[in-house]
Amino acid sequence: MIEKILVANRGEIAVRVMRSCREMGIYSVAVYSDADRKAMHVRYADEAIHIGPAPSSESYLNIDRIIAAAKQSHADAIHPGYGFLSENAHFAERCAEEGIVFIGPSPEAIRVMGDKISARQAVAKHGVPVVPGTDGPVHDEEEAIRIAETIGLPVMIKASAGGGGKGMRLVRHRDEIKDAIRAARSEAKAAFGDDAIFIEKYIDSPHHIEFQILADKHGNTLHLFERECSVQRRHQKVVEETPSPLMTPQLRMEMGEKAVMAARSVQYYGAGTIEFIVDDNLNYYFLEMNTRLQVEHPITERVVGVDLVKQQISIANGEVLKLKQNDLKQNGHAIECRIYAEDPDNNFMPSPGIIQHITEPLGLGVRHDGYVYEGYEIPIYYDPMISKLIVWAGSRQEAIDRMRRALYAYKITGVKTSIRFLKRIMESRDFIEGNYNTHFIEKNYGFLMKQQECPSDCEDVAIMTVLIDHLDRMEQAQPTRPEGQRGNLWKEYGRRRSLMRL
Ligand code: ADP
């Protein structure tokens, strides 16, 4: 049985994994670079081991140092989080060789699913629809032009090793193909050391809908329904929700079954995600599988009522899944916003720096997975995500209201953040109506960027939220304060909020 877990990661996900460890009575070991000496995950863990300089290639991606830290701390397992080494088959193999449990799938499953071409081949053999496109890698530009014309433009040129939106090019015209291939290849070579590319049909009005999978080592595989991840900027997710406004019960059942088949195609075990692209006519196609915990896993946890990290650990322990597909239900609605240290007014450039002040949103139905604190300096070396704000409510409309309330209460100074941009998403008609696809941000860009055009004077509502908060605190400190002030403020707040419903 696993008694001590080294978490080979940093930031919010390291803390989140350690929280589940603590609930399970499992010791946690943090690893940290020079830039993370004062990081929250180091403070939270039961033990912490320094693994090297700030650049990730010399610390969080350095397999030898992580294995040495696991040996030194006598950890029996490693949880890789997401990013870094989480989808590195070689790392999973090394863990096995060293007698350390890798909390994730087999190296073979990581390898097949880590390459988009072999993943397409594996799932297609099991009857899972894939985006129409090439069966194998494309060798030269002439071949690419022939294929694109057969599939029909527009097409996506994609790096087989791609991830994080890198190595992907949309081609609308025949004469753009050569340049797109060169660009995709060189981007993929630089980022992944592999320049293999393939071609896929471009799906119009695409929705990104993914299914959460859990599978044990005894052949039991189930899905925990969908997550709608179509609010994207540059092919990167910004807001996720579940259930998807697009979904029908029939489609959910069908896609869930296909997701389970996709996982079975590689004898998958652990937690994983099958990503699909869905068009307006509800045709769906396998896009890829992520063989790890996703950033957006909390919305599934909230709606299905399952701790996915605990499930990962018990699967790694060789236990049989206690959950049964027919017992799983979606309860209510959850939304996640990713909060970044970035400047929306400056092309979303990362905005690292010292957190001067932070007020985290609290209250009914709010979960905040973060790791920064006042005085903490966000390092320049890593992903600039500060936290994930997750809300839950009985209905979608109530969840949107709650997210808006939480975003208004969320205050960070010292670094620029994406909070304002996220508030605008929660106020946009298309989002409120659930009428959006992956073009949502482009389509609503003007509205999302221009604070002053907000029809209901959002800033006033924000100021009032802070005032009410302040009065609440005063009331606690001074219970004899005359009533009235707060009531009036609430009335005004309610009036403005109802105006905000477009
Ligand atoms: P990555 O692994 O780099 O994240 P994905 O294949 O998962 O790349 O695609 C990321 C996003 O790019 C999708 O969520 C979708 O918005 C867009 N995309 C990918 N493939 C297609 C396609 N064939 N047609 C339309 N949009 C696509």
- Centre of ligand 1 to C-alpha 253, Å, is 23
- Among residues 40, 43, 49, which one has the least CA distance to residue 8? 49
pLDDT for position 470 = 65
For 224-360, where are the alpha helices, taking DSSP H only? Answer: 249-264, 297-300, 308-316
- Among residues 401, 435, 377, 416, which one has the least CA distance to residue 39? 377
Atom of ligand 1 nearest to the CA of 202: 24
DSSP letter string over 184-228?
HHHHHHHHHS---EEEEEPPSS-EEEEEEEEE-TTS-EEEEEEEE
| 64 backbone dihedrals φ, ψ, rounded to 5° | -60, -45
How far apart CA 473 and CA 388 sit, in angstroms, is 26
In the numeric block, the tokens 């002053």 are attached to: 452
How far apart CA 444 and CA 138 sit, in angstroms, is 36
Catalytically active residues are 292
- Ligand 1 contacts CB of residue 288 (under 6 A): yes
Name every residue whose Cβ is closer than 8 Å to that of residue 249 and which is 6 or more positions away in sequence.
none
- Centre of ligand 1 to C-alpha 344, Å, is 23
Q: Name the DSSP class of 321.
A: P
- Ligand 1 contacts CB of residue 205 (under 6 A): no
- Among residues 241, 253, 249, which one has the least CA distance to residue 396? 241
- Among residues 417, 405, 413, 415, which one has the least CA distance to residue 464? 405
- Among residues 403, 390, 364, 386, which one has the least CA distance to residue 298? 390
What predicted TM-score, i.e. pTM, was given to this entire model?
Answer: 0.90
Q: Is the peptide bond before 154 cis (omega within 30 degrees of 0)?
A: yes
- Among residues 253, 407, 409, which one has the least CA distance to residue 338? 407
- Ligand 1 contacts CB of residue 438 (under 6 A): yes
Q: Name the DSSP class of 453.
A: G
Atom of ligand 1 nearest to the CA of 232: 16
- Of all protein residues, the one whose alpha carbon is nearest to atom 10 of ligand 1 is 235
- Ligand 1 contacts CB of residue 226 (under 6 A): no
The answer to whether 158 and 168 have CB atoms below 8 angstroms apart is: yes
- Ligand 1 contacts CB of residue 151 (under 6 A): no
pLDDT for position 450 = 78
Helices 419-427 and 396-409: angle between axes, nearest 10 degrees? 150
Local mean pLDDT, 10-residue blocks, the chain (502 residues): 98 98 98 98 98 98 98 98 98 98 98 97 98 92 91 94 89 93 93 93 96 98 98 96 98 98 98 97 97 98 98 98 98 98 95 95 97 96 96 97 95 96 95 97 93 50 64 62 62 63 42
How far apart CA 361 and CA 407 sit, in angstroms, is 7
Name every residue whose Cβ is closer than 8 Å to that of residue 69 and which is 6 or more positions away in sequence.
6, 29, 31, 49, 51, 75
> Angle CA(101)–CA(102)–CA(103) in degrees, nearest 5?
110
Chain CA centroid to CA 25, Å: 27
The answer to whether 161 and 110 have CB atoms below 8 angstroms apart is: no
CB atoms within 10 A of CB 368: 17
E-strand ranges in 371-484 read 377-378, 385-393, 411-413
In the numeric block, the tokens 């508030």 are attached to: 423
| Longest distance between any two alpha carbons in the chain, whole Å | 81
Among 151, 232, 278, 287, say which to mutate for ligand 1: greatest number of ligand atoms within 8 Å of CB: 287
pLDDT for position 486 = 64
How far apart CA 341 and CA 414 sit, in angstroms, is 10
- Centre of ligand 1 to C-alpha 327, Å, is 32
- Centre of ligand 1 to C-alpha 236, Å, is 9
- Ligand 1 contacts CB of residue 487 (under 6 A): no
How far apart CA 432 and CA 430 sit, in angstroms, is 6
- Ligand 1 contacts CB of residue 165 (under 6 A): yes
- Centre of ligand 1 to C-alpha 441, Å, is 15
Among 208, 233, 294, say which to mutate for ligand 1: greatest number of ligand atoms within 8 Å of CB: 208
- Centre of ligand 1 to C-alpha 235, Å, is 6
Of all residues in the chain, what percent are helix, strand and coil, respectively (each to 5)?
40, 25, 35
